[in-house]
């Protein structure tokens, strides 16, 4: 230990000098790169003439960020990483007992989610909690459910689907149109929307049965666009780009969430607020998510789920084992589509308004990105990825203080996709298989169950 | 003699316009080990795949256990209890050894699962040691054992083995051939084997066929073919190990 300390001391000044040198270089490169893009800006003045606006302050901010970043990287982050690597190499391989937290992660997460709305209401008050329950709760959970649905198709069965948002759209419009035209209730239409989406899953599944990989991706991409274009152009039914508005709200055992005499607030003797409806929706989507997870976990242990995973691994081997790959693929498509459709009808009831705008390709890409980032097939990883990705973009709305640095015209929301891309690159560099990259086996040799926990920490199983 | 378990009659198979098999006749009787030897590109694997229905024979018939299976889809053929250990082994790499075996028992509906797993582990004790390991992390020889084990889980009437010795060390090949012999002796399992390793295959087999350019040019008992000077010249010179 002593000699390490002395070398660090003598190397310290050297590292600082190198860091300073490199930060100056980084600053110069940034200056060169951005002087024309950021430092100078062409604008039109009132007489339609082009004038040159100079933004030296903004340019200076860019350069300073680059210099400070490079300095910190070389002076602190890199030595720290090197030390950690050395320490890891030096330390003997110890079989680690998983901590209580990581062993019971999903149970703790579910309890935390159930307690989330009351805690938020207690912290921020009735009106203040609206944003937290809606933007950070419901919004994220919708994506968790969508990503878990897509996970069945992409993560388990290995069929790359770039048009998943189509099923989301089918579900949303099923509820919007059937409730508007026929006045059916949400609880009737929730399974109906799921079934309709599953049917569309089969419709998509049939023509693409023979396709794999890139070819499949292109066809599913086209399918997503077809559904969106139908929604735009079939104006008599879908009202085209105007969308369907005034969609009926969901009720709880017939109790409406409105300001009327027999509404939820009045019946419970609570002050009138839209928060109760949001909290109700929060628990609803939480329940739907848990059903999705439960079904997926059970399916993986059933022959059909095992066949999905085997199909992802090797289609020819599947056939030679007597697995009907046609029905296996179709059930995967239908199953994934069904959850997408249910999430869609929830989306419609939450927004009260649907339009084709909500079902663009970007949505499919975001959902797929969540599945890939989380680790294909891993429910926990995908949920974490959804929280990071969707929660992260929601947080961007809250970063008003950045305007102080970048000027009043800076809108952090516009950088959403930039951050999304950056996060993907970072995760893929560090964890190429996603947050949870290892696949959890579904079956073990029977005698293993009899062995107590203390004997299995050697790292088997 | 009773009707053969597998009868391939005048089968011609094409890849597009290219004829890979031109009128092949092969018979496999119950309880036999039959091997098919030949050079690269002779059509050995094509014949194996044709029996499994992918690609299907353009003309001729494949009869199995009294049924015409020529036009059945692959998974239906597998359900007639023809199990295959395909070329290149094709185990499921991200699934554990145990799960791979479980996949093999899909057809059997896991009815005899515990019993059969025990049997496979007795046949290949290495698999038992590795049962919680992912298939992709096994060595080549272990993967071949797993591929055969997985095929056996379906309780097949006929086991098709496509080049089980491919890329394996001679000692491992010997072990695998011994296991096949044992299955045949003790359980009367019928085996149809495609091999490049002619010496090992002929020694193991009751009967054998020699395939050249999509035609069967010679057939006979394993012993006879081993002694045949033409076979020796073409397939066995320097191949003795």
Task: Please write the tens of the pLDDT for every residue from B50-98.
Answer: 999 988 999 999 999 999 999 999 999 999 999 999 888 899 998 999 9
Is pLDDT of A262 > 80?
A: no
Average the pLDDT over B6-30 and give the result.
Answer: 93
Residue numbers of the domain that contains A295: 113-430
Q: Which of B52, B94, B131 sits opposite A320 (nearest CB)?
A: B52
Q: Are residues A130 and A79 in the same domain?
A: no
CA end-to-end span of chain B, whole Å? 35
Q: Is residue A155 part of a domain?
A: yes
Residue A3 has a pLDDT of 53
Q: Is residue A447 part of a domain?
A: no
Residue A28 has a pLDDT of 93
Using a pLDDT cut of 90, give the percent of chain A over it.
36
| Angstroms from A272 CA to nearest CA on chain B | 54
Q: Are residues A58 and A174 in the same domain?
A: no
Q: Are residues A130 and A33 in the same domain?
A: no
Stronger pLDDT, A162 or A259, i.e. the higher one: A162
| Angstroms from B199 CA to nearest CA on chain A | 28
Is pLDDT of A451 > 70?
A: no
Contact A309 B92 (CB under 8 A): yes
Closest A-chain CA to B95 = A441
Per residue, what are the HEC states of B210-228? Answer: EEECCEEEEEEEHHHHHHC
Residue A90 has a pLDDT of 78
Judged by CB atoms within 8 Å, which residues 126-185 of B form the interface with A?
131-132, 134, 150-151, 154
Q: Which two tokens stand for residue A23?
A: 């930060």
Residue A435 has a pLDDT of 78
The number of residues in chain A equals 461
Q: Are residues A423 and A355 in the same domain?
A: yes
Using a pLDDT cut of 70, give the percent of chain A over it.
90
Is pLDDT of A407 > 90?
A: no
Domain boundaries, chain B: 1-81+157-241, 91-156
A-chain residues within 8 Å CB-CB of B151? Answer: 320
A309 touching B, CB under 8 A?
A: yes
**How many C-beta neighbours within 10 Å does residue A70 have?**
21
Contact B94 A439 (CB under 8 A): yes
CA–CA distances in Å: residue A334 to residues A299, A300, A374? 13, 16, 22
Identify the helix (H) or strand (E) that includes residue B2: none
Is pLDDT of A448 > 50?
A: no
Stronger pLDDT, A400 or A152, i.e. the higher one: A152
Q: Kindly indicate the confidence band of residue A40, based on its pLDDT and cuts at 50, 70 and 90.
A: confident
CA–CA distances in Å: residue A384 to residues A157, A296, A373? 21, 17, 9
A-chain residues within 8 Å CB-CB of B93? Answer: 313-314
Q: Are residues A319 and A212 in the same domain?
A: yes
DSSP B134: B
B-chain residues within 8 Å CB-CB of A316? Answer: 54, 86, 90
- Domains identified in chain A, total number: 2
Q: Kindly indicate the confidence band of residue B239, based on its pLDDT and cuts at 50, 70 and 90.
A: very low
Q: Is the pTM of this model over 0.95?
A: no
Stronger pLDDT, A356 or B238, i.e. the higher one: A356
Contact B93 A313 (CB under 8 A): yes
**What is the average pLDDT score of chain A?**
84
Q: Are residues A143 and A38 in the same domain?
A: no
Average the pLDDT over A162-168 and give the result.
Answer: 94
| Angstroms from A461 CA to nearest CA on chain B | 6
Q: Kindly indicate the confidence band of residue A450, based on its pLDDT and cuts at 50, 70 and 90.
A: very low
Q: Which two tokens stand for residue B39?
A: 């050079």
| Angstroms from A299 CA to nearest CA on chain B | 15
- Residue A360 in contact with residue A165, Cβ under 8 Å? yes
Burial (CB count <10 Å: 0-12, 13-18, 19+), residue A437: middle
Residue A10 has a pLDDT of 61
Identify the helix (H) or strand (E) that includes residue B15: strand B6-15
B120 touching A, CB under 8 A?
A: no
Is pLDDT of A8 > 60?
A: no
Contact A314 B79 (CB under 8 A): no
B108 touching A, CB under 8 A?
A: no
Chain A interface, mutation test: which of B48, B97, B98, most A Cβ atoms within 10 Å? B98
Q: Are residues A50 and A180 in the same domain?
A: no
Q: Is the ipTM of this complex over 0.90?
A: no
Judged by CB atoms within 8 Å, which residues 410-449 of A form the interface with B?
439, 441-446, 448
Of the candidates A312, A456, A434, A102, the residue with the CA atom closest to the CA atom of residue B99: A312
| Angstroms from B233 CA to nearest CA on chain A | 35
Is pLDDT of B108 > 80?
A: no
Residue A294 has a pLDDT of 95
Q: Which of A119-128, A361-370, B185-194 has the lowest mean pLDDT?
A: A119-128
Residue tagged 């001729």 (tokens): B60
Average the pLDDT over A23-42 and give the result.
Answer: 88
Q: Are residues A306 and A194 in the same domain?
A: yes
Q: Is residue A276 part of a domain?
A: yes
Q: Are residues A8 and A118 in the same domain?
A: no
Average the pLDDT over B31-60 and give the result.
Answer: 91
Contact A309 B104 (CB under 8 A): no
Is pLDDT of B104 > 60?
A: yes
Contact A303 B78 (CB under 8 A): no
Judged by CB atoms within 8 Å, which residues 28-57 of B form the interface with A?
52, 54
Q: Is residue A383 part of a domain?
A: yes
The number of residues in chain B equals 241
Average the pLDDT over B169-185 and give the result.
Answer: 91
Contact A324 B75 (CB under 8 A): yes
Average the pLDDT over B139-149 and give the result.
Answer: 92
Is pLDDT of A453 > 50?
A: no
B-chain residues within 8 Å CB-CB of A443? Answer: 96, 98-99, 102
Q: Which two tokens stand for residue B187?
A: 């359980």
Residue B2 has a pLDDT of 77
A-chain residues within 8 Å CB-CB of B69? Answer: none
Buried b (16+ CB within 10 A) or exposed e, B111-148: eebeebbebbbebbebbbebbbbbbeebeebbbbbbbb
Residue A95 has a pLDDT of 55
Q: Kindly indicate the confidence band of residue A459, based on its pLDDT and cuts at 50, 70 and 90.
A: very low
Rg value, chain B, Cα? 17
Contact A307 B106 (CB under 8 A): yes
**What is the average pLDDT score of chain B?**
90
Q: Kindly indicate the confidence band of residue A97, based on its pLDDT and cuts at 50, 70 and 90.
A: low
Stronger pLDDT, A392 or B147, i.e. the higher one: B147
Residue A92 has a pLDDT of 62
B-chain residues within 8 Å CB-CB of A318? Answer: 75
Is pLDDT of A201 > 70?
A: yes
Q: Are residues A75 and A206 in the same domain?
A: no
Q: Kindly indicate the confidence band of residue B160, based on its pLDDT and cuts at 50, 70 and 90.
A: very high
Stronger pLDDT, A299 or A408, i.e. the higher one: A299
- The matching CATH number, chosen from 3.40.50.300, 3.40.395.10, 3.30.300.30, 3.40.30.10, for B1-81+157-241 is 3.40.50.300
- Residue B143 in contact with residue B84, Cβ under 8 Å? no
Q: Are residues A353 and A419 in the same domain?
A: yes
Instruction: Identify the domain boundary among A87, A102, A126.
Output: A87
Residue B1 has a pLDDT of 57
Closest B-chain CA to A309 = B95
Q: Which two tokens stand for residue A106?
A: 């999903």
Q: Are residues A235 and A120 in the same domain?
A: yes
């Amino acid at each position: 230990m002593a000699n390490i300390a002395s070398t660090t001391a003598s190397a310290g000044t050297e590292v600082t000098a190198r860091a300073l040198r490199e930060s100056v270089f980084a600053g110069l490169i940034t200056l060169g790169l951005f002087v024309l893009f950021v430092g100078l800006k062409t604008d039109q003045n009132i007489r339609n003439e082009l004038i040159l606006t100079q933004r030296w302050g903004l340019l200076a901010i860019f350069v300073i960020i680059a210099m400070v970043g490079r300095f910190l990287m070389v002076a602190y982050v890199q030595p720290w990483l090197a030390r950690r690597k050395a320490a890891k190499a030096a330390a003997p391989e110890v079989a680690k007992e998983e901590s209580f937290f990581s062993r019971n992660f999903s149970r703790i997460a579910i309890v935390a989610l159930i307690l989330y709305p009351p805690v938020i209401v207690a912290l921020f008050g009735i009106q203040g909690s609206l944003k937290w329950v809606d933007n950070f709760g419901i919004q994220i959970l919708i994506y968790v459910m969508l990503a878990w649905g897509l996970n069945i198709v992409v993560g388990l069965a290995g069929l790359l689907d770039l048009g998943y948002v189509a099923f989301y759209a089918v579900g949303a419009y099923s509820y919007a149109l059937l409730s508007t035209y026929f006045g059916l209730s949400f609880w009737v239409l929730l399974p109906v929307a799921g079934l309709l989406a599953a049917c569309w899953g089969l419709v998509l599944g049939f023509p693409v049965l023979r396709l794999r990989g890139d070819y499949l991706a292109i066809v599913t991409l086209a399918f997503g666009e077809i559904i969106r274009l139908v929604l735009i152009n079939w104006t008599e039914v879908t009202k085209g780009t105007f969308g369907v508005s005034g969609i009926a709200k969901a009720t709880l055992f017939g109790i409406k969430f409105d300001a009327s005499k027999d509404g939820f607030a009045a019946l419970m003797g609570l002050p009138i607020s839209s928060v109760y409806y949001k909290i109700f929706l929060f628990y609803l989507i939480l329940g739907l998510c848990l059903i999705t997870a439960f079904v997926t976990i059970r399916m993986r242990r059933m022959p059909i789920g095992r066949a999905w995973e085997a199909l992802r691994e090797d289609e020819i081997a599947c056939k030679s084992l007597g697995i009907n790959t046609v029905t296996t693929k179709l059930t995967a498509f239908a199953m994934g589509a069904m959850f997408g459709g249910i999430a869609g009808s929830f989306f419609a009831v939450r927004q009260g308004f649907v339009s084709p705008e909500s079902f663009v390709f970007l949505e499919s890409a975001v959902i797929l990105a969540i599945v890939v980032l989380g680790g294909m097939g891993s429910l926990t990883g995908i949920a974490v990825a959804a929280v990071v990705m969707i929660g992260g973009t929601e947080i961007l709305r809250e970063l008003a203080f950045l305007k102080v640095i970048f000027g009043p015209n800076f809108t952090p929301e516009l950088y959403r996709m930039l951050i999304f891309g950056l996060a993907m690159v970072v995760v893929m560099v560090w964890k190429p298989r996603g947050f949870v990259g290892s696949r959890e086996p579904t079956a073990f040799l029977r005698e293993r169950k009899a062995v107590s926990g203390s004997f299995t920490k050697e790292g088997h199983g | 003699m009773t009707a053969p378990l597998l009868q391939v009659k005048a089968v011609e198979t094409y890849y597009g316009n290219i004829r890979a098999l031109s009128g092949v006749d092969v018979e496999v009787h119950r309880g036999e080990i039959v091997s098919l030897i030949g050079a690269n590109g002779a059509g050995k694997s094509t014949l194996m795949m044709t029996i499994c229905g992918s690609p299907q024979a353009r003309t001729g018939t494949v009869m199995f256990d009294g049924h015409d299976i020529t036009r059945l889809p692959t998974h239906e053929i597998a359900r007639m209890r023809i199990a295959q250990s395909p070329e290149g082994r094709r185990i499921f790499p991200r699934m554990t050894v145990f799960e791979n075996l479980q996949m093999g028992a899909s057809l059997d509906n896991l009815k005899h699962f515990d019993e059969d797993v025990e049997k496979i582990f007795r046949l290949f004790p290495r698999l038992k040691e590795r049962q919680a390991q992912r298939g992709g992390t096994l060595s080549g020889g272990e993967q071949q054992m797993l591929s055969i084990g997985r095929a056996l889980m379906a309780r097949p009437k006929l086991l098709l083995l496509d080049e089980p010795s491919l890329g394996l060390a001679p000692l491992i090949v010997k072990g695998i051939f011994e296991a096949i012999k044992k299955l045949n002796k003790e359980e009367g399992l019928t085996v149809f084997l495609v091999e490049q390793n002619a010496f090992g295959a002929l020694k193991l087999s009751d009967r054998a066929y020699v395939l050249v350019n999509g035609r069967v040019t010679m057939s006979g008992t394993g012993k006879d073919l081993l002694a045949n000077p033409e076979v020796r010249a073409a397939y066995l010179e320097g191949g003795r190990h």
